[in-house]
Amino acid sequence: DGGITQSPKYLFRKEGQNVTLSCEQNLNHDAMYWYRQDPGQGLRLIYYSQIVNDFQKGDIAEGYSVSREKKESFPLTVTSAQKNPTAFYLCASRSVGQSGNTIYFGEGSWLTVV
Amino acid sequence: QKEVEQDPGPLSVPEGAIVSLNCTYSNSAFQYFMWYRQYSRKGPELLMYTYSSGNKEDGRFTAQVDKSSKYISLFIRDSQPSDSATYLCAMSGTAAGNKLTFGGGTRVLVKP
C-alpha cells in the first residue's frame, strides 16, 4: 500500500545526543515536510524539501538538520543543540504540480529526552 | 495574533448531535482550505479539502468557506463516539511552493 512510513515510533534520547528520525514515502511525491507537535498545540514546520538535494528552513529549524538524497526519503536529525526536543514529530508529503496543496502525514515519531 | 485561530476546546457533545467547528484567518491570499482529524498519538488524516469559497459535503461531513469573512467551518452530523478526536484546520495560498498554515486544533468529545 502507498503511504508514508516513519520510524521509530518511540525514541528516547539522552542529553547531548543526536538522533535521526526516518521518513520514507512510496507515493512518488515531490515535496516532503517535517513538523513538530507539542501537547495541546498545533503543528510547527521544521524543514521542507520540494526537490531532491534541496531543502528550506521552516519556522523552527534551529537545532535540526535534514537531507534529501533520494525522492523517497527525508530523514530528520535532532541535534544536541535543540534545547527542548521532547515532542511528537510528523513527516508529510505532497505532490507538487497537482491542483491544490493537500499534504498527507505519516503516523509520527515520539521523541523523549531522558 | 496568529495567522489562523482555532478554539482549542474541548467541545463535548452527546452522541447524535451536530458538531460545529470553525477557524478564522487573516491572510487573504489563502485559497485552499483543509480539515484534518487526528486521533491521540496518531498522524493527522485528511478529512475535507475545499478550494476558494463555498460548501462541500462528504457523507456526514460538510465544510464551508466564507472568504469574505475569512471564516471556515466543519460540521459533523449524527456524531459518533468514534468522532472523538482533535480536528485541525489548515490553509494555503495558490503557489506550488506555498506551505500549509495550521490552526491549533479543537479537541472534540462525543459522549455515548
Q: A40-78, pLDDT tens digit by residue?
A: 778 999 999 989 999 999 999 999 999 999 999 999 999
The mean of the pLDDT values for chain A is 90
A11 in contact with B, Cβ within 8 Å = no
In Å, how far is A16's CA from the nearest CA of chain B?
26
Averaged pLDDT, B8-34:
94
Do residue A58 and residue B99 have CB atoms under 8 angstroms apart?
A: yes
What is d(CA A27, CA A7) in angstroms, rounded to the nearest whole number?
Answer: 17
Q: What is the mean pLDDT of chain B?
A: 92
Cβ atoms within 10 Å of A91's Cβ, excluding its own: 27
Instruction: Tell me which residues of chain B have a C-beta less than 8 Å from any C-beta of chain A.
Output: 6, 8, 32, 34, 36, 41-46, 49, 51, 88, 92, 96-100, 102-105
Which residues of chain B does A50 touch, with a Cβ-Cβ cutoff of 8 Å?
A: 96-97
User: How many C-beta atoms lie closer than 10 Å to residue A108's C-beta?
Assistant: 21
More confidently predicted of A2 and B23:
B23
pLDDT of residue A97: 58
Count of other CB atoms within 10 angstroms of residue B97? 12
Burial class (CB in 10 A: 0-12, 13-18, 19+), B95: exposed
> Which chain A residues touch B44 with a CB distance below 8 Å?
43, 90, 105
